[in-house]
């Protein structure tokens, strides 16, 4: 038998189980911002999550719904669109990195850590910080008019 033209890894699972596995790994990656898994699984989820990040950066309703469909939980989808995607606007692609970590003790499988390239804790983009700054400026202008 040949494998010409077949794309993707099967992981010895049927289609539904494979899709659930990839969704679950992507969900954990968004929730914890890093995940350790086997190297083939890590290589498989990187393009999947990259496409979700691109959709989350657009942020309109249609793309938000596609991100929700691509992740297991609603909270992680909202976290990706509202918190993580605004911090990643400096890049057009290459948001994730795969690092080989260790060999698993039981079966000697190569493990790898998938994480974001940018440090998400240091990124200054927050929506809550922008709103009070706008509210203070009109108040200061009102005081200046009253002084004259």
Q: Return the CATH number at 20.
A: 3.90.1030.10
Beta bridge partners of 35: 114
Task: Answer for the pair 120, 33: CB distance below 8 angstroms, yes or no.
Answer: yes
Low-confidence residues in the chain, pLDDT < 50: 129
pLDDT of residue 99: 98
Q: Output the pLDDT for position 52.
A: 98
Angle at 36 between CA 72 and CA 6, to 5 degrees: 70
Q: What does the pLDDT read at residue 2?
A: 84
Task: Answer yes or no: is 6 within a domain.
Answer: no
Determine, yes or no, domain membership for 10: no
Sign, CA dihedral 113-41-28-118, equals positive
Residue 3 confidence (pLDDT): 83
Angle between helices 39-58 and 15-32 (to 10 degrees): 70
Provide the number of structural domains found in the chain. Answer: 1
Tokens 């699984």 found at: 41
Rounded Cα distance between 57 and 22, Å, is 21
Instruction: Supply the range of the domain harboring residue 61.
Output: 15-147
Asked if residue 49 is part of any domain, the answer here is yes
5 domain residue, yes or no: no
């Amino acid at each position: 038998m040949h494998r010409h033209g077949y794309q993707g890894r099967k992981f010895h699972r049927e289609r539904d189980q494979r899709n659930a596995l990839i969704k679950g790994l992507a969900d954990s990656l968004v929730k914890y911002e890093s995940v350790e898994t086997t190297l083939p699984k890590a290589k498989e989820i990187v393009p999947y999550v990259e496409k979700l990040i691109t959709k989350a950066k657009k942020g309109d309703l249609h793309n938000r719904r596609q991100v929700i469909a691509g992740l297991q939980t609603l909270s992680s989808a909202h976290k990706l669109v509202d918190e993580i995607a605004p911090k990643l606007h400096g890049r057009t692609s290459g948001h994730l990195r795969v690092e080989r970590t260790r060999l698993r003790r039981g079966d000697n499988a190569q493990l790898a850590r998938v994480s974001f390239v940018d440090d998400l804790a240091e990124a200054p983009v927050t929506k809550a910080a922008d709103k009070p700054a706008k509210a203070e400026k009109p108040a200061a202008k009102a005081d200046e008019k009253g002084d004259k």
